Amino acid sequence: MLKKNYTNIEGMLHIGGVSVEELREKYGTPLYIYDQKLIKETARAFKDNFKSEIFESEISYASKAQSNLYLLGLLSKENLYLDTVSLGEMYIAIKAGFDPKKIHLHGNNKTREELVFAIKNKIGTIIIDSYEEFLFLEEILGERDKKMDCLLRINPDVKTSTHKYIQTSNADSKFGINIRDEKTPTYIKQMADSQFINILGFHAHIGSQVMEVGFFEEEANILFEFTKKMQEITQKTFSHINLGGGFGVRQNKKDRDFDLEKFLKDFAKIIEEKIKIYGLSIKKVGIEPGRSMVNQAGSSIYSVGSVKHTLEGLPLVFVDGGMSDNIRPSLYGAKYDALIANRLDEKNYEKFRVGGKLCESGDILIGETDLPYPKRGDILAIENTGAYSSAMSSNYNKLPKPAVVFVEDGRDYLAVKKESLEDLIKNDLTYKGE
């Protein structure tokens, strides 16, 4: 099992050998802290365990989970592929040093600007999301007399047991072409005959935070059976399959562990069996870890302000951040645990809520957690915030976005500077009295 590089030295939390008090003094709070060694170990765990003698593995980091020049540069050095969903994500990936051939472009409503950028920069693969998008892309490629490798996103109609906002393969999903749509074979036949689009195979994604391996096996079976049928209809051999991501992670102490290494080995064997059962000539199988690549490596620290005892409910511990730096509790009902990072040795714990400073009643980071009685100036740390916290951060209430720092072997590396007050208005224009 992969483990965080957390240590307790005289009651003070150290991450990657660096004291959180030192990090607060240097970078302020709120602050995103990434365990760099754990990210490297996780990337290698995916490569070392999801492999096969009959197909080539393609491990693509889903950059929507968290992306900046530093992180993407690190993952590029780990020889990963990369999933992007926007012009900005492609741009940052190239600036970070990713080989464009290893970049995929996803998205359910790609703009002309995004598609032209992908073509001009020789992005490796475009995942087509709909029949209309196929026609749009074919038109753009035809104008330039270019050919592009593509996968078609199929909606396998697998219902998972996660929050409805992170289910992506229900029949009413905004993503992909539903496998039960009777027009789908006709669409694929037309794509297979295109002179500008080279359909390598199919892509699917069933959602996020999926903890049950059976859902992935169901997805694999559906997708490989579908591929077999489409080969018979089109008389074309498909060489690529991408099964997406969504591998669950432990978010709080009540969640059960997800043994990533064992899962990856088992999943690879399942895929091998499906390839043999359906007699397919699949050369490459891709998966797309995002949250599971970076979430456990990330922590957020805050400075404690006041403690408020309300007439009802648990007392509130207020911190100097909130839904602007982690919207997931408000958006998805995500549940976390907290600790007082500068008083780890204290034994007397009580139940508290953790509230942010944003002007919203819903700005509650944690609904219930056990803490020693907090004091103003304490450091409150929340684990497992590496995915979608910084990525979804905002300037609501005009709060500057926090810094992002990576730590390893006693050293810290600033990846993203904390925003200044000037940064908040750098794109604003002043009223001229019109």
- Alpha-carbon distance of 84 to 78, in angstroms, equals 17
Q: Which of 359, 421, 427, 434 is catalytic?
A: 359
Point out which residues pair with 60 in neighbouring strands.
Answer: 81
Q: Estimate to the nearest angstrom the gap between the alpha carbon of 277 and the chain centroid.
A: 32
Whether 359 sits among the annotated catalytic residues: the reply is yes
- Alpha-carbon distance of 79 to 73, in angstroms, equals 10
**Number of other residues whose CB lies within 10 A of the CB of residue 336:** 20
Which ranges in 121-248 belong to alpha helices (H)?
131-144, 184-192, 213-234
> Measured on CA atoms in the order 143, 149, 152, 153, is the torsion positive or negative?
negative
CB-based contact 7:14 (threshold 8 Å): yes
- Alpha-carbon distance of 365 to 332, in angstroms, equals 11
- Alpha-carbon distance of 16 to 23, in angstroms, equals 11
Residues 6+ apart with CB under 8 A from 16: 5, 35, 36, 37, 406, 407, 408, 409, 410, 411, 412
- Alpha-carbon distance of 25 to 409, in angstroms, equals 19
Three-state SS for 88? helix
275 membership: H or E segment, kind and range: helix 260-278
Which ranges in 147-259 belong to alpha helices (H)?
184-192, 213-234
Placement of tokens 């730096």 in the chain: 325
Q: What is the number of residues in the chain?
A: 434
Placement of tokens 């789908």 in the chain: 184
> Active-site residue numbers?
359
